[in-house]
Structure 1
């Protein structure tokens, strides 16, 4: 059961049917200039396996520097916690260490924030060595400022349960017993290892660039359907689940368009108030988006327009933060299968540049593929090359890159006409007829 802001008790649609992990019952709080909306925080908690039993919000210009909520709201919250039988409070923002400590003291209840919930979800969804290292780094950087009092915080979270609760799971837990020096040493080790991951990725990209397989990155709000779209575009079978942050590690598949091979990469989803610790820690993963030839910004077209705009802004903000703003961008309005005619017309009017698709039914995928092809064609250069017969192996290489090309056998060799990426055209410049390639 859940207590709403007007005091009525209602059935929570976010409470999981299964027994929540560690029997945690969360009470959500938020303070904001605008009327706060806690639905997304509840969904995060559901993903983490925690039941939501109540909420309290406060509209204020700035959060209280000591207790996040004002003193009157803190007193009200203390009373509501007893009524709801809540055993953890979760704030919809990242709390300062002082705010967290003061709230725990006032409420005599463990207090978590949005960042710790997201980190916990990432920890539970990280399955590869790279993903686990990135999550551990983010957790350590988050906990560095909170080491004083973490022992008390953990004891409250796990008291009487025998197991850790949300905020205590994952690689960062093992570091709580260490001092700051050991934590800093571990951070240094993790950064060094992740730098090695970036070098490995750079080598792989260099190999792709030699063959110049254009890379299309899927970016978008978490649960927008990127993995399903990857499967639909490429005919692959990447695992898909209806939960937030299901994909943490980049997954790449191939797509054939007009004889040309494209690489399509699904990356980690974004969210409002995405912790900076995660953006920094996942730099190696996010590089796939930064260095892509094209970014498909996938949005959930079934979301209300105001929510869709907020999610779109959140993604664009992260793309700017990671300096991916220079890549050509295409808006993909996914989940067309759940839209009525009125919503379709509204989307067409509000987002004329977008491509409406359904990764579930296949609607709009041909148009999307054609748009990808057309946009990529704009970046190509017309060339006319003369390839000596003794270097005939280049013909196969050029065909793999260009996909479609003209060929004419002459006395001097094979004359090839094709459209190539500019960097590739420069690589084969010595074969250009008359010593240069045409624009």
Structure 2
């Protein structure tokens, strides 16, 4: 028998996704959220095998879904040797404990999955510190389900007081880590605040938007830089700032981390100074993926997040991006039913209330460079107007 080569490539984990249709969440929204959860799982490196949805008034306080649905999920996991179950909402510590005990497999919730992606994509020491803090804050209330031996990281001997349980030890160690990480972030925040102050009084423009709408592609186009951009969620974690000059008019352009529905509170807190780039900007370029079937909700998620971080009152230039990927179903002339969003052409959208209420706005494609010149002209005028207001005699600070 000859030598049979074995593959060293890691085996892709398999996952099932679980969501609920409640009084506060429609069928369409739940399916949309699970599609996004599948994209998150794919970004993390997992392959989704099946999605489970249950209709309930509210999620079950003990097991998220009902007992019958949980048994159905368990049978599918065992029969198909599924590696993990991912729930679309953040589970409480007791829900997580109960579900893990019943399913006997790895269980993640939406928050845990997002944190995992952030951990994998953090490049700089600052981003890594932010993510680590968010992970420990998430872990702390869930210690009762963990088989942790964190004291080994600090030598073990002398770390446990008389009669102290493992969980109490772990909790104390994690609280200590959280405190140290917060101190580290405070120091870095001060350094970054000084850096922002040292940039002079140039006009600051920040790209904001839902994750994976094309912000980094637009950044590369405007600044001719090489910011990492790919068709995955959270391709960019660290804020990138570039000095851009349009016709002798200089300004600073920053690309920020993408927003997402149900963004974990821990991440909003941890990425506070990253979001300071948005808070301190003079103008926001809000990028929207017009080809996404639910772009209106994504647009509103970003607006709500901006309001939450106290940046909702800033001037906004709305960019409806990816017009090259926009598609619609043309209605037959003899079809008397009212037009729905699926039947809107780009021309219909340009004449809609959404476009008129969000002016200044533009329809373009950063990838295909469609309508790029108008975008540059509009942006130049807006930056020039802000500069003129700041320096009425044209003395720009370089």
TM-score (ref. length: structure 1): 0.74
2:389 is matched with which residue: 360, 381, 384?
381
CA distance in 2, matches of 1:332, 1:268: 17
Task: Determine the structure 1 residue equivalent to 2:317.
Answer: 330
Q: Is the 8 A contact 1:260 1:401 kept in 2?
A: no
2:81 is matched with which residue: 58, 81, 85?
85
The reply to whether residue 196 of structure 1 matches residue 196 of structure 2 is no
Task: Determine the structure 2 residue equivalent to 1:356.
Answer: 363
Task: Determine the structure 1 residue equivalent to 2:282.
Answer: 293
1:76 is matched with which residue: 55, 72, 76?
72
2:172 is matched with which residue: 178, 181, 187?
181
Task: Name the SS for the 1:148 alignment partner.
Answer: helix
The reply to whether residue 144 of structure 1 matches residue 140 of structure 2 is yes
Task: Name the SS for the 1:240 alignment partner.
Answer: coil
- Gaps in structure 2 of 5+ consecutive residues: 1-6, 149-166, 329-343
| Offset, 1:334 | 1.0
Relative contact order: is structure 1 or structure 2 higher (C-alpha 8 Å, sep ≥ 6)? 2
Q: Is the 8 A contact 1:123 1:135 kept in 2?
A: yes
Task: Name the SS for the 1:199 alignment partner.
Answer: helix
Task: Determine the structure 2 residue equivalent to 1:121.
Answer: 117
CA distance in 1, matches of 2:59, 2:43: 27
CA distance in 2, matches of 1:19, 1:243: 25
Task: Name the SS for the 2:57 alignment partner.
Answer: coil
2:92 is matched with which residue: 90, 96, 105?
96
Change (3 A) 1:381 1:108: closer
Q: Is the 8 A contact 2:204 2:282 kept in 1?
A: yes
| Offset, 1:378 | 4.2
Output aligned runs, 1:196-275, within 5 Å. Answer: 196-208=187-199, 210=200, 212-275=201-264
Task: Name the SS for the 2:250 alignment partner.
Answer: strand
Change (3 A) 1:20 1:55: farther
| Offset, 1:19 | 9.8
2:373 is matched with which residue: 366, 376, 389?
366
Q: Is the 8 A contact 1:213 1:262 kept in 2?
A: yes
Task: Name the SS for the 2:142 alignment partner.
Answer: coil
Task: Name the SS for the 2:143 alignment partner.
Answer: coil
| Offset, 1:219 | 0.6
Question: What is the CA deviation profile of residues 398-430 of structure 1, one whole-angstrom value per residue up to 9, with x for unaligned ones?
Answer: 64439xxxxxxxxxxxxxxxxxxxxxxxxxxxx
The reply to whether residue 346 of structure 1 matches residue 348 of structure 2 is yes
Change (3 A) 1:299 1:19: farther
| Offset, 1:128 | 0.5
- Gaps in structure 1 of 5+ consecutive residues: 1-17, 153-175, 386-397, 403-439
CA RMSD of aligned residues (A): 2.3
| Offset, 1:96 | 0.3
Change (3 A) 1:178 1:356: farther
CA distance in 1, matches of 2:297, 2:315: 21
CA distance in 2, matches of 1:384, 1:101: 63
Change (3 A) 1:335 1:140: same
| Offset, 1:274 | 0.7
Question: What is the CA deviation profile of residues 155-185 of structure 1, one whole-angstrom value per residue up to 9, with x for unaligned ones?
Answer: xxxxxxxxxxxxxxxxxxxxx9961111111
Task: Name the SS for the 2:351 alignment partner.
Answer: helix
Task: Determine the structure 2 residue equivalent to 1:55.
Answer: 51
| Offset, 1:97 | 0.6
CA distance in 2, matches of 1:21, 1:266: 33
Q: Is the 8 A contact 1:21 1:50 kept in 2?
A: no
Q: Is the 8 A contact 1:25 1:88 kept in 2?
A: yes
Task: Determine the structure 1 residue equivalent to 2:158.
Answer: none
| Offset, 1:381 | 3.3
| Offset, 1:109 | 2.2
CA distance in 1, matches of 2:52, 2:17: 6
| Offset, 1:383 | 7.0
| Offset, 1:121 | 0.4
Output aligned runs, 1:151-166, within 5 Å. Answer: 151=147
Change (3 A) 1:118 1:19: farther
